[in-house]
Amino acid sequence: MVPLVYVCDDDSHIVRAISMKLKKADLEVECFPDGLACWERIQDRAPNMVITDLQMPRMNGLELCEKIRDFTDSQSIPVTLLTGKGFEFDHDEYIETLKITNVMVKPFSPKKLLAQVQENLNFTHDLIG
Amino acid sequence: MKNYAKYWYLVVLLIVVSCADSLLVTSGLTNPAIALVIALTASLAGWAWLVKTIQKDRDQIMACLKNPELNRSKIQHKNFFGSLFTEALQKIEHSDSELLSTKQVQTILKARLNSLIKKEMLRESVLESLDTGILIFDAQHVLEFSNSAADDFLISKADQKDTHSDSSLSLSKTLFNDTVIPELSRLLTKTIQRKDATSCRRTEFEFTSNGSTNHFCAIATNLCDENQTALGTVVVIENNGEENKEKTNHAEFVSSVAHELKTPMSGIKAYVEMLIDGECEADEAMELYGFINEQIDRLTRLVNSMLNLARIESGVVDIKRHDYELNDILKKAFDVISPTAAEKEITITTQLSDLYLPVHVDKDMLGQAIINLLSNAVKYTPNGHEVCLRSRMEESSAVIEVRDTGLGIPEDSLPHIFDRFYRVPENNRSAAGTGLGLSLVHFIVTNVHNGSISVQSKVNEGTCFIINIPLGHKEKRRVQQLAASTNV
């Protein structure tokens, strides 16, 4: 079964770049412009992984993570947080409290992001296996 | 003649009479009874003369006492009481002069006291007028002075505790605890306890008064005289909420700039990396080059907008305010935007006032503000809708309205639309933007032209920005004043 990854960012170019990269690695990708749209979709169909931006309209990345962790079908899926914030954002605190798997600071390398996605998906599959 | 001489003459005369009397009796020229009569007569005459003289001297003294203008020098020599009287007078005069100097000293002291009281009142009124709280404690840690700005930090007498310890250190702590809020009490105790380390200590704290919480900074300083004897401690309390707010705003601004720059950079980096890795087909590569180009344009727009805003806000750009007719400026701005509106099939119209609207403005800056508003209206209005630019006179101001029938702004976004980098989340996909345009408009209208700007909007119905600019020319008035002064 092809793993499903949700990509959530209000910048269409970032969504497009990530989506292209993941699709080329044979992953199924769905894109969303904000946290709320992504959360609504998660409730219908939980993905294998979520990549989300931090600052987004309607529902930001942290709020989305909270929802994901509170929802039974998605509470154990890996979440990668993309952020333009640097030192002013306490990564460790959110990694701890919201169980965020990875934080990538923009501008990021799609190659590294893909490597992390693959690692997380394998890890999850291993756990499930 | 010495004042006692006449009395000596009298004594000598009496001795001579007594001797003559004795000789007459001894020689038998007269009998003892007659000699006795002569002696008694002479003594009585002398005694009467003496009494009369003394009475005269006394009258003279009395006259002198009653009339100080009389010549006193004769009295000193001729009067029986002369020397005594003169001496008494000298002593009285000396006492008078002493009394005079005492009065002078008293007057000087009173003047100094008044001057000191005035100075103290001046200092107290200066301290009282400060927004900064001032608390002054004496060497015994008792509150000596506090201004009204420090009232909130004092503990009312009703709240003071009766518990006092015997130890002097604990006593000072208790005194402070009973006088000021715990944050200041701790600061004061520490400042006094560790005065050898430093004479001045600082603390920052949050304090809620009348329902509002503010951030304060307190500095306590030990006061000493020139001999390093402790005089007391002064505490200066400043509300540094504004400073903190500025720091926070600055940090937020830097964070926003970083975020705004990083977003297009992320897109560029991602696309470039994919191109380098050769992961794209030729047509995909062309598409990515196009995206990269767009992102670079976005970055350029952002940097230009930031520079523009920074240059205007920091005053690097000279503000050239002159007298203009407002409608002329509005027409020019309208002409700039009309082609863009036409391209988007948006009906853009003007409803300019027939009245002459005199304004004293920087036409380029105000023009830029109107262009920004019209440009936004066109950007966020769907094809086939309308944008209208209006002007009118209202009391002492000229009113400019930019109205559209576009997407509108949600109510929760309205308070933020003039914030830097703020973009209405629901609309930001509709058009490219930096979130700096309205911030610049706000600055130009309010700071450069002392005007005001407000916004009314309803989602899916449209938005109306209303600008008020003070009416009136200023240069003509100046020219008239100059002409009037030359005619005079």
Q: Which residue has the higher pLDDT, A3 or B74?
A: A3
- What is the ipTM, given to two decimal places? 0.82
d(CA B63, CA B56): 10
Q: Could you tell me if A24 lies within 8 Å of chain B, comparing CB atoms?
A: yes
CB A107 to CB B266 under 8 A?
Answer: yes
Q: CB B270 to CB A17 under 8 A?
A: yes
The C-alpha atoms of residue B377 and residue B386 are separated, in whole angstroms, by 9
Could you say which of A14, A57, A58 has the minimum Cβ distance to residue B266? A14
B322 and B468 share a domain?
Answer: yes
Q: Which residue has the tokens 């409730």?
A: A43
User: Domain with B178 in it: what CATH number?
Assistant: 3.30.450.20
Q: Is B443 found in the same domain as B396?
A: yes
Spatial strand order in the sheet of B230-239: B143-146, B133-138, B230-239, B212-224, B200-209
Q: Which residues of B touch A12 (CB under 8 A)?
A: 429
pLDDT over threshold 50, residue A53: yes
Do residues B222 and B252 touch, judged by C-beta distance below 8 A? no
- How far, CA to CA in Å, does B343 sit from each of B338, B382, B389? 9, 12, 18
**pTM of this structure:** 0.53
Residues B160, B281 within the same domain: no
Q: For chain B, what is the domain count?
A: 4
Q: Is the CB of A11 less than 8 angstroms away from the CB of B294?
A: no
Inter-chain CB proximity B426 and A57 less than 8 Å = yes
Least CB-CB distance to B270: which of A33, A58, A110?
A110
Are B260 and B338 members of one domain?
no
What would the pLDDT profile of A13-40 be if each residue is shown by its tens digit?
889 889 989 998 899 999 998 899 999 9
CB contact under 8 A, A108 and B270: yes
Residue ranges making up the domain that contains A35: 4-128
Question: What range defines the domain where residue B270 resides?
Answer: 245-312
Interface test with A, best of B256, B259, B260, B266 (most A CBs within 10 A): B266
pLDDT of residue B377: 92
The verdict on B450 and B336 lying in the same domain is yes
Greatest Cα pair distance in chain A: 40
Please report whether residue B324 resides in a domain.
yes
Name which of A11, A82, A110 is nearest B273 (Cβ-Cβ).
A110
- Asked if B45 and B17 sit in the same domain, the reply is yes
Mean pLDDT by 10 residues, chain B (488 residues): 68 83 80 81 84 84 77 68 80 84 89 93 89 89 87 75 50 69 87 79 85 86 86 89 76 76 87 87 87 87 81 79 92 89 89 92 90 90 91 91 91 87 72 78 91 92 93 73 59
B423 and B439 co-located in one domain: yes
Residue B203 placed within a domain = yes
| pLDDT above 50: residue A45 | yes
Q: Compute the distance between CA of residue B88 and CA of residue B100 in angstroms, rounded to an integer.
A: 18
Is the CB of residue A63 less than 8 Å away from at least one CB of chain B? Answer: no
pLDDT, one tens digit per residue, over B165-224 is 444 555 566 667 778 888 888 888 888 887 777 778 888 888 887 778 888 889 999 888
Instruction: Identify the weakest region by mean pLDDT among A88-92, A125-129, B119-123, B325-329.
Output: A125-129
